[in-house]
Chain A
Amino acid sequence: MADTHAHDTQHHHGADAAHPPGGHATWQTYVIVGVILTVITAVEVGIFYIEAMAGVLVPILLLLSALKFFIVVFWYMHLKFDSKIYSRVFFAPLFLATLVVIGMVILFKVLPRYGVG
């Protein structure tokens, strides 16, 4: 039987040439990512205390939080370099979970304000 199976390491073929074939990224890249995550967290906490930002605080915080989330998922969890199958089995339920959160908030917090529900 011919072995036509692709192997897990093949995903590296599409990765950045600067990344070593055995690993997903260099430790220097990981440190830079760590610094970026720290800076974003500091910005989140900083704008939390700026009263002038109160009107736009929620969307900015959600955006920054999502940015941190995806940076960790793509670099530290290696989805940027790994097989797309992993991404699919993770992001499909994540999308569903996000819909659940949004749906619950709309049902119990938003609609009652308009006399619905």
Chain B
Amino acid sequence: MANTAVVHEHPHHPEPYTATGLPTLKLGFWVFLGSETLFFGSLISMYMVYKHESVVGPYSTELLDIPLTSISTFVLLMSSLAMVIALDQVQQGSRRGGAIGIAAVAVLGSLFLGFQAYEFTHFYHEGLTLQTNLFGSSFFVLTGFHGAHVSLGVIWLLVLLIQLLRGGLPPGKSLQLEIAGLYWHFVDIVWIAIFTLVYLIE
């Protein structure tokens, strides 16, 4: 047998499959998410080591607003719920349901970013910047990178929404939305860790 190539296409899925029997895109994306855990793990480590090492204020206990962040956390959790329902709708061939779901995720994600922009602005007016102290540096880097991930996710979802509305996301191509969904849920679980380690644990 001369040809032992391992890339195949499942008759009902256009995405290539390999010797693992899994779609390469999805497997590769899980590997990427694994690398992202190390990225955010490093940033969280940095924050936990530095947050009480500031020699000048303002300090974390003076600024962090738990009620406000609790609401933004709830918003992000609900966006994850909307994401799985959107994927479910697209997989069942409901373009309208999928579009509403994706739009809801994008709106909730934008709302979360609005909360973060408000928080950053408030901190800035209270005298905390990237250069003020170690708390400011580590806090803005950690939550800023998370916010950048959320922003990218919102843009990605809006692109998929346009694609869906143009009829370019049939159930057979729902893997594209599933991948975006994995990314979105990952952003959510990173925030679950940040909310506890940065905001609730003093």
Binding site for B on A (CB under 8 A): 1, 3, 5-8, 10, 22-23, 26-27, 30-31, 33-34, 37-38, 41, 44-45, 48, 57-58, 61-62, 64-65, 68-69, 72-73, 75-77, 83, 85-86, 89-90, 92-94, 96-98, 100-101, 104-105, 108-109
Q: In the complex, A68→B195 CA distance in Å?
A: 11
Mostly, the A contact residues are helix
One of B14-22, B121-129, B149-157, B161-169 at the interface = B14-22
Tell me whether A109 and B22 are in contact (CB under 8 A): no
If the complex has contacts A45-B66, A69-B192, are A85 and B81 also in contact, measured as CB distance less than 8 A? no
Tell me, in angstroms, the Cα distance from A33 to B58 when the chains sit together.
38
Complex-state Cα separation, A92 to B23, whole angstroms: 20
Nearest residue (CB) in B for A75 is: B84
Q: B186 at interface (Cβ–Cβ under 8 A)? A: yes
Residue of A whose beta carbon sits closest to that of B67 = A45
Task: Determine the chain B residues whose CB is within 8 A of the CB of A41 once the complex forms.
Answer: 70, 73-74, 77
Query: Quick one: CB contact mask for B10-54 with A, threshold 8 Å, 1 for yes?
Result: 100100011111110011001101110110111011101100000
Contacts of B146 in A (CB 8 A): none
Residues of A within 8 A of B13 (CB): 7-8
* Minimum Cβ distance to chain A for residue B133 (Å): 17
Task: Give the 10 A-B residue pairs with the shortest CB-CB distance, closest first.
Answer: A97-B41, A6-B21, A93-B34, A65-B196, A34-B81, A104-B45, A108-B49, A97-B37, A5-B21, A94-B37
Name the prevailing secondary structure of the B interface residues: helix
- With both beta carbons as reference points, the residue of chain A lying nearest to B69 in the complex is identified as A45
- The answer to whether A101 and B44 touch across the interface, beta carbons within 8 angstroms, is yes
Question: Are B30's CB and A90's CB within 8 A?
Answer: yes
Name the residue of chain B whose CB is nearest to the CB of A64. Answer: B196
Q: Would A72 and B3 count as touching, CB distance under 8 A?
A: no
Shortest B80–chain A CB gap in Å is 5
A38 to B75, CA, bound (A): 10
Q: How far is the CB of B101 from chain A (nearest CB, A)?
A: 10
19 contacts between A and B (CB under 8 A): A5-B8, A23-B91, A26-B88, A27-B85, A30-B88, A57-B201, A61-B201, A64-B196, A65-B196, A76-B80, A83-B20, A86-B27, A89-B34, A90-B34, A96-B38, A100-B42, A101-B45, A105-B49, A108-B49
